[in-house]
Amino acid sequence: MKHTDERPRPAPALPTREPVRLVDRHGRRVGHSSFTAPDPARLVELHRAMLIGRRFNQQAGTLARQGRLAVYPSSTGQEAAQVGGVLALSDQDWLFPTYRDSVALVAHGVDPVRTLTLFRGDWHCGYDPHRYRCAPQCTPLATNASHAVGLTYAARRKGRDVAALAMMGDGATSEGDAHEAYNFAAVWNTPVVFLVQNNHWAISVPLHRQTAAPTLAHKAVGYGMKGYHVDGNDAAAVYAVVSHALAEARAGGGPAIVEAVTYRVDPHTNADAPQRYRDPAEVEHWKERDPLIRSERLIRDEGLLGDAEETERALAAFGAEADRIADTVRERLADGDELDPRSLFTDVYATVPPLLEQEHALLADELREV
């Protein structure tokens, strides 16, 4: 058996420097040569999911301030990027999220309370990844990306049509693991879309200290992948572009990087001190580009929910639903699995080895003493 030398796909075109935008910050549609906005029902669905996400972020932030969560990395301002990406997934597809992506998990259908297990400190992951087709939220930067490549590779071998959305931040694209995952995906032609939320900051480090690339989407080209540069505060654009990239990847056209340009309005986590590294005016600038403002304006201006009265009623219902979910999170936060110290030992190996049995006995003695 010998190798043959072949090049799989034609060279991809450079991404546009101007991000793909379908709805501007005033809620007005913008024409685009390659992408069209999703249908009205989808636009409404995106708005609803973003509202739920915004309330979830606020609720989790409050719980963190009250000390009921150990920490919470908010994604306020990034809802369009997360929701737009996730709603583009099909039923069988997998999500590979980071710590920043709780809103994406909720939009993907993970129980909101179980989403917070990690940050509550009860366990590292509160849900069964197989049940939700969602990997545990990943903290070591960019390390989740190659898992998405491997999983979609395995699914293809088993004859299943499974694509994946691998999420990462702008800072994470500097990691070696991002590079390795992009390269593996491209060489193996696995259906993965790498959704990079460029929220401009990696804790305190701005993007220009992170990379000299013209855009993060440009990185794709060197791997023989397509790169898309998208207005990440335009849910319609994120949805359209990620849907397109997923469809192409599924059809064998190769993986892609989608850079969603957005902004982290809140501190990195509740423990961060953003006044030390960024100008508050910058935050104000981005608040004017809030993804929810524009989607609500679009819905109102175009009457996507009916006449003025129907629109008010429907939007109020969405708000009430978002409040209800947030309330449930607050009330059920104490729920969840019983914290049994025995569980420290049960799932380290497939069976509990003698060493851990001994340590369990020691711990049981200690517990009896108190």
Partner 1 sequence: MAAAPTTGVSMGEALNRALRDAIADDPDVLVYGEDVGPLGGVFRVTDGLAGEFGEERVFDSPLAESGIVGTAIGMAMYGLRPVVELQFDAFAYPAFEQVVSHLAKMRNRTRGAVALPVVLRVPYGGGIGGVEHHSDSSEAYYTHTPGLRVVTPGTPADAYSMLREAVECDDPVVFLEPKRRYWSRQEVDLPVRTEPMATPVVRRPGTDATLIAYGPMVETALEAAETAAAEGRSLEVVDVRQLAPLDDGVVTASVRRTGRAVVVHEASVFGGYGAELAARIGERCFHYLEAPVLRVGGLDVPYPPPKLEHHHLPDAHRVLAAVDRLQWESEWVDDGDGGRTLP
Ligand X SMILES: Cc1ncc(C[n+]2csc(CCOP(=O)(O)OP(=O)(O)O)c2C)c(N)n1
> What is residue 18's DSSP assignment?
S
Alpha-carbon dihedral sign for residues 163, 137, 259, 28? positive
Contact partner, 3, from ligand X, partner 1, none, Cβ < 5-8 Å per class = partner 1
Bridge partners (DSSP) of residue 134 are 95
Binding segment toward ligand X, per CB under 6 A, in 88-96, 166-174, 250-258, 343-351: 166-174
Q: Which of 289, 300, 318 is nearest to 52 (CA)?
A: 318
Map residues 193-232 to x or -, x wherever contact with partner 1 holds by CB under 8 A: ----------------------------------------
Map residues 154-193 to x or -, x wherever contact with partner 1 holds by CB under 8 A: xx-xx---x-------------xx-xxx-xx--xx-----
> What is residue 138's DSSP assignment?
B
Rounded distance between C-alpha atoms, residue 305 and residue 315, angstroms? 8
List binders of ligand X among 247-286 (CB under 6 A).
Answer: 264, 268
172/292 with CB nearer partner 1: 172
Say if strands 201-202 and 205-206 run parallel, antiparallel, or are unpaired. antiparallel
Q: Is 71 in the site for partner 1 (CB under 8 A)?
A: no
Among 170, 234, 259, 290, binds ligand X (CB under 6 A): 170
Q: Is 199 in the site for ligand X (CB under 6 A)?
A: yes
15/171 with CB nearer ligand X: 171
Contact partner, 100, from ligand X, partner 1, none, Cβ < 5-8 Å per class = ligand X
Among 141, 162, 216, 333, binds ligand X (CB under 6 A): 141
Give one DSSP letter per residue of 44-113, joined into a string: HHHHHHHHHHHHHHHHHHHHHHTTSSS-----TT-HHHHHHHHHTS-TT-EEE-BTT-HHHHHHHT--HH
CB of 179 to ligand X, least distance (A): 13
32/179 with CB nearer partner 1: 179
> What is residue 349's DSSP assignment?
S
Three-state SS at 226: strand
303/353 with CB nearer partner 1: 353
